[in-house]
Amino acid sequence: MSYISDTIVATATPPGRGGLGVVRISGPQALSVVHKLFRPLSGGECPFEPRRLYLGDILSGKGGEVLDRVMAVYMPAPASYTREDVVEISCHGGGAVANLIVERIMELGVRHAEAGEFTRRAFLNGAMDITMAEAVAELSKVGSPLGASIAAANLKGELSGKLRELKDSAVILRAEVEARIEFEENVGKLDREGTYGKLDELASEIEELLGSYRTYRLLRRGVEVIICGRVNVGKTTLFNRLLGSERGLVDRTAGTTRDWIAEEIEIGGVRVRLVDTAGFGLALRGLDGRAVARSEELLGEAERIVYMLDATGGVCKEDVVRIEENINRGVEQIVVLNKVDIAKDYQKVLAEYSNNIKDGVKIIPISAKSGQGMEEFNSALADMVGISTKEGADRIFVNTRRQYRLLRQIAEDVTSAKGEIKPVERIEVLAYLLTNIQEGFEQLLGERYDEDMLEEIFTNFCIGK
Amino acid sequence: MECDVLVIGGGHAGCEAALAGVRMGAQVTLVSMADDNLGRMSCNPAVGGISKGHLVYEIEALGGAMPCITDRVAIQYRMLNRRKGSVVWGLRAQVDRMAYEREMTAFIKQTMGLEVVAGEVVDIELGGGGRKRAILDGGSSIDCRAIVLATGTFLNALMYRGDEVWEGGRVGEGASQQLVNFLSEQGFRIGRLKTGTPPRVKRDSLDYSRMKPQPGETGMLTFTFGKPVKEQIDCYLANTNEQVHEIIKGNLDRSPLYQGKIEGVGPRYCPSIEDKVVRFGDKSSHQIFVEPEGRESDLCYLNGISSSLPQDVQDRYLRKIPGFEEAEVTLYGYAVEYDFCDPRQLRSTLESMVVEGLYFAGQINGTSGYEEAGAQGLVAGANAASNALGGKRGELRIGREEGYTGVMIDDLVVKGTEEPYRMFTSRAEYRLGLSQYSARLRLTGKAYQMGLVDGGRMDEVRGLEERVSGEIRRLRETRIKGSDEEQLQGYSLEEVLRRPQYNYSDLRGVIQGINLSEDPLVQILVEEEVKYAGYRKRMERELDKLKEMERERIDGVDFYQVEGISTEGREKLKGVQPENLRQAAEIPGIRPSEIMALMIHMKHRRNA
């Protein structure tokens, strides 16, 4: 069996309902196969000029009945996604029709593509570097819009651009060091302080990239925010407001929300799982008791909490204790004082709570019902879910474990390299570590060559005697 | 005439090849245009230096002649990079140029089983069963089983100085025009390179008070592990200046290089003075190392200002150099342009893939330098002899992790070269494991196994090995109690030595009265072993991965049948014919994905 240059087919759009679906065929037989089943509206054989859309019908095998009216486009190698001959057929609906067309094409001897095979071919054929290929893989996995835009940026080569820049700085450093081993008589001594400083810069750039991976994972996985507080403080009202719908039932009766409910929303590009819980202070018996216990369990594991206070009552000791516990556990917490629109003197309650809670937690006065104070709350919430929109927009992200692991190794080598400059200089070991750093970046970029370091020496120094 | 191995060329590659062949027990004939100047130093009167010192020590470990002759005729020693780690030290000896070739010629002529013939090989006839016949210019012929081509710069050689052009590979000598025809007919890819030499001046015509003396050093081991000669001759350091550069700039139109007459590519690491002035225009001065050509010689070699400018220009700018006002030139600088064969057509035994039994060594492979030539000659000679004697003795292949010689040969056969190739320590990725001093530990066993060195030498190496490992064991087992230095309490001596601040002799201060080895070789090797242990371990892990790729041998793969490789990639693979997957991966311009495709292809082929 041929394993690289046979022809493959698959539906390129996700399965399920949809207005259109795209069937992609890649490989040397792509065009000849499509000729057999596509009848252009203009009649005769379709000329399939490269990169032109043709309207026509897909015919079934038996009897030649029309399966669907479609648009087809031919992209000859190497100017296609996979760098092979590619035909894409846009048909109606996502699932059934596209499947029929794929099956029809398979009848003509074309193999169904394995998962990710188009991208694998694109990579193997040199259409993209490895970080781009990784970005494609990530794109198909990420759920949040911001995560997707990061993967898309990496697909354009933003990460590899950054990595290449860092690699180049490592190559230059290595050339400086190697020149001192090979030709110290000609080029003079190594600038130790300067080299140390440049390694420091490199270290902080790498550190930033490593940090970006943690953020990226957050974005990909999404975060969970739990709304809690005593019964009947208005948690579900806030929940519904954030959702923009009446998802939870709201009533004046205390304890309307018996069990926790969760919905996904998007805040500043981040996927957020918002959880509304049963309030504290319900009878701990029967079904209600179990619901409360489950809410408590959730709270015990929570990393992000919106803690809601009631402006219409006085200061409650239990609230103070719980808020302080959360602080001690290192939970990220937003404390809101609700119902300020109907409280007699919410300022007084606010001041009392502030005085009672140590560490001076900031309390945001709101009315989940009227919308008062929501602007301040929303921005605090966006901050808490990890990433402010403007920060996410222009940062470069590491988005695979492979990249993270290699970068960690490079970071370790950079640290060791600094140790080989001070207090005792061991230039031959420094050179070894810089070589590894350079190769680390080459590995990250999926490339490998060796001559550029010498190249660097020769363009920057007058060598030889 | 008949012999087992015929060596063509009597330079540094040819001499080591012939001697290695004899050590293997083969009957060897060496053909050289002249038979009284074997091992001639056509360029600078020095052997060794950074990374080149390693090659000389490796030649020593394999039983070669260059280290002995050098030590016999040295007039000065210096250890370059001495303040750095000992793995990058480079021993450099100034030698007496005339004495060197005299000694080498005598040594070769007195070697039993080695015959020297003066003449030029003009053609090679290939017979059945691997037999070969070399035709000499006079019409006579020599029959043999294997041939080592070590023709240096003599193939189609042209010399240039200003408007003058004349034939010849070295001043006062001829060129070899006809052998190239044989090589191109056989399908060898021929390229052209260029090199240059500086002017030589009368030693007593210079004013040394205006230069900085560079005295020799003692207190180190020589190439043959002896003590350097006591009476050493000083070299001197002089400098060019703006006036010199102005004269050169004003006459560039008279340089054959800048007139575009020379098509051969010169070495970037050893540019001519006109190149330096043009490429580094902002530098107001360049160094000149003034090297006496011998103890008795009345000549000096001007290292650093090789030039092919016309005679009158050389005269004018030389006199502007402080100390050179009265300089009397005996030989003006010139450039040499010559043919070389693409070394990617060779295996790592230096046997060509085009003609079986034909080996290549030295400048014909695109390298420069005596040491590079000598090391290749030795490998080619040993392998040619083994081949001629029936192949039962195996092959001398040196891995990149085993020696600089291995790095050089692997670079040549995998990557080829576009300029005269010279050794650099940075080419050796296992540099921390390859010191001058470990050459015997790394290579002598290999040489002994194929009969290239004798048992006596092997015993010496085994003894050294034991002393080093014994000493390391002792340092590991000795813990510090009641030392003057409180913070070392409880550590072993090995752990102390691992710290960059301590060297071997410092251990004496750590434990009063401790017995340390007096053998300088053991001291250095112990120190290297202990200090780089962590990094060497890591290198071994990296090496394991590469070894795995090396086990994937590529035999008889038709690269045009491998899917997933670009046309360009296929051509590159075909041109290099890598022996294994590691070599394939290192071919410049081959993408990692193409290596993957090749791997998949080989797996399928195996399963088919």
The answer to whether B531 and B497 have CB atoms below 8 angstroms apart is yes
User: B90-95 and B74-80 as β-strands: parallel, antiparallel, unpaired?
Assistant: antiparallel
Domain extent at residue A118: 8-129
- Which residue in B532, B542, B593, B603 has the most chain A C-beta atoms within 10 A of its own C-beta, making it the best mutation to test that interface? B593
Q: Give the closest-approach CA distance of B404 to chain A in angstroms.
A: 14
For residues A111-135, one letter each, b for 16 or more C-beta atoms within 10 angstroms of the residue's C-beta and e for the rest, the string is bebeeeebbbbbbbbebbbbbbbbb
Q: Is residue A32 part of a domain?
A: yes
Give chain A's domain count. 2
Query: Which residues are within 8 A (CB) of B122 and not within 5 positions of it... i.e. 6 or more apart?
Result: B135, B136, B137, B176, B178, B179
Find, among B365, B339, B343, B409, the residue nearest to B179 by Cα: B339
Residues of B in contact with A428 (CB under 8 A): 84-85, 87-88, 431-432
> What is the rounded average pLDDT for all residues in chain B?
94
The pLDDT > 90 percentage for chain B reads 82
Cα–Cα distance, A461 to A344 (Å, whole number): 79
Topology, domain B552-607: DNA polymerase; domain 1 (1.10.150)
Does residue A363 share a domain with residue A238? yes
- Boundary-marking domain end, from A89, A109, A129: A129
Question: Mean pLDDT per 10-residue run, chain A (465 residues)?
Answer: 68 76 92 93 90 93 84 94 92 82 91 78 75 71 68 78 95 95 86 96 94 79 87 90 78 69 80 85 64 77 90 88 88 92 90 83 91 91 68 68 87 96 92 95 72 35 30
- Find the CB nearest A432 among B431, B564, B566: B431
Query: What pLDDT sits at residue A465?
Result: 24
Cross-strand pairs, A92: A20
CB contact under 8 A, A181 and B566: no
- Whether B24 and B393 have beta carbons less than 8 Å apart is answered as yes
Measured distance CA(B367)–CA(B269) in Å, rounded? 13
User: According to the model, what pLDDT value does residue A453 have?
Assistant: 32
- If we measure between CA atoms, which residue out of B56, B52, B78, B73 comes closest to residue B65? B56
Please write the tens of the pLDDT for every residue from B29-46: 999 999 999 999 999 999
Contact criterion met (CB < 8 Å) for B303 and A184:
no
Could you tell me the pLDDT band of residue B556, with boundaries at 50, 70 and 90?
Answer: confident
> Which residue, A368, A396, A412, sits at the end of a domain?
A368
DSSP calls for B130-172: G-EEEEETTS-EEEESEEEE--TT-BT-EEEETTEEEE-SSTT
Q: Is residue A410 part of a domain?
A: no
d(CA A458, CA B16): 32
Do A462 and B585 make contact, defined as CB atoms within 8 angstroms? no
Give residue A450's pLDDT. 35
Q: Is residue A448 in some structural domain?
A: no
Convert A156-180 to b/e letters by CB count within 10 Å (16 or more is b): ebbbbebbbebbebbbbbbbbbbbb
Judge whether residue B191 has pLDDT over 70. Answer: yes
The verdict on a CB contact (< 8 Å) between B431 and A124 is no
Residues on chain B touching A4 (C-beta within 8 angstroms) = 563-564, 597, 600
pLDDT at A122: 79
Q: Do domains B471-535 and B552-607 have the same CATH topology?
A: no
Q: CB within 8 A of B148, min separation 6: which ones?
A: B5, B6, B7, B8, B13, B14, B17, B18, B21, B359, B360, B361, B377, B380, B381, B384
Tally Cβ neighbours within 10 Å of residue A293: 12
Q: Which chain A residues are within 8 Å of B289, Cβ to Cβ?
A: 465
Q: So what's the pLDDT on residue A265?
A: 85
Distance between CA atoms of A3 and B600, rounded to whole angstroms?
A: 9
Q: Are B137 and B119 in contact (CB under 8 A)?
A: yes
- Asked if B600's CB is within 8 angstroms of A4's CB, the reply is yes
Position A168 in a domain: no
Whether residue A337 contacts residue A363, with contact meaning beta carbons closer than 8 Å, is answered with: yes
Are the C-beta atoms of B15 and B155 separated by less than 8 Å?
no
- At which residue do the structure tokens 């957050």 appear? A218
Residue type at B135 in one-letter notation: I
Distance CA A66, CA A60 (A): 6
Q: Let me know if residue A235 belongs to a domain.
A: yes
Length of chain A: 465
| Whole-number Å distance between alpha carbons of A397 and A399 | 6
Q: To the nearest whole angstrom, how far is the Cα of A26 from the nearest Cα of chain B?
A: 14
> What is the domain class of B200-335 according to CATH?
mainly beta
Structural domain spans, chain B:
200-335, 471-535, 552-607
Q: Work out the minimum CA distance from A149 to partner chain B, whole angstroms.
A: 27
* Closest-CA distance of chain B to residue A225, Å: 44
Q: How far apart (Å, rounded) are the C-alpha atoms in residues B459 and B446? A: 13
Structural domain contains residue A182: no
Measured between CA atoms, the residue of chain A closest to residue B288 is A465
Q: Which of B51, B287, B424 sits opposite A465 (nearest CB)?
A: B287
Highest-scoring range by mean pLDDT, A205-219, B449-463, B593-607: B449-463
Instruction: Please tell me the distance in Å from B174's CA to the nearest CA on chain A.
Output: 28
Note the pLDDT of residue B141.
97
- Which of B415, B426, B506, B541 is the best residue to mutate to test the A interface, defined by the most A CB atoms within 10 Å of its own CB? B426
List A364's β-bridge partners, or say none.
A336
Classify residue A197 as left (phi > 0), alpha (psi -120 to 50) or beta: alpha
Give the CA diameter of chain B: 82
B239 min Cα distance to partner chain A (Å): 11
- Say which residues have a Cβ less than 8 Å from residue B357's Cβ, sequence separation at least 6: B130, B132, B145, B146, B147, B351, B384, B387, B388
Residue A111: inside a domain, yes or no? yes
Please give the Cα distance from A415 to B285 (Å, whole number).
38
**Which residues have C-beta within 8 Å of that of residue B107, sequence separation ≥ 6?**
B65, B69
Please tell me the predicted confidence (pLDDT) of residue A451: 36
Q: How far is A388 from chain B (nearest CA, A)?
A: 38
List, in order, residues 6 or more apart from A262 with CB less than 8 Å away. A273, A274, A275, A276
Q: Is A463 on the interface with B (CB under 8 A)?
A: yes
**Domain spanning B471-535 has what CATH number?**
1.10.10.1800
CATH number of the domain residue A34 falls in: 3.30.1360.120
- Distance of alpha carbon A391 from alpha carbon A393, whole angstroms: 6
Query: What's the pLDDT tens digit per position in B332-391?
Result: 999 999 999 999 999 999 999 999 999 999 999 999 999 999 999 999 999 999 999 999
ipTM here: 0.92
Residue A48 phi, psi dihedral angles, 5° rounding = 45, 60
Q: Would you state the structure tokens that stand for residue B468, as one six-digit string?
A: 């080093």
Largest CA distance in chain A: 93
pLDDT tens-digit map of B239-255? 999 999 999 999 999 99
- In single-letter form, the type of residue at position B332 comes to Y
Are both A233 and A354 inside the same structural domain? Answer: yes
Question: Among A129, A154, A172, which residue terminates a domain?
Answer: A129
**Residue partners of B83: CB distance under 8 A and separation at least 6:** none
* Chains A–B, number of C-beta pairs less than 8 Å apart: 101
E strand or H helix at B583:
helix B581-585
A447 touches chain B (CB under 8 A): yes
Record the pTM. 0.82
- The sign one gets for the Cα dihedral B267, B271, B274, B275 is positive
Q: Which residues of B447-469 are buried (b: 16+ CB within 10 A; e: fewer)?
A: bbebbbbeeebbeebeebeebbe
Model confidence pLDDT, tens digit, residues B64-96: 999 999 999 999 999 999 999 999 999 999 999
User: Whose CA is closest to A212, among A383, A379, A400, A389?
Assistant: A400
> Is the CB of A463 less than 8 angstroms away from the CB of B269?
yes
Q: What residue type is B146 in one-letter code?
A: A
Query: Would you state the pLDDT for residue A278?
Result: 82
CA neighbor of A56 nearest in space, from A35, A68, A39, A44: A39
User: d(Cα A403, Cα B106) in Å, to the nearest integer?
Assistant: 62
**Which residues of A fall within a CB distance of 8 Å from B586?**
448, 450
Q: CA nearest A225: which of A122, A80, A332, A327?
A: A332
Q: Tell whether A262 is covered by a domain.
A: yes
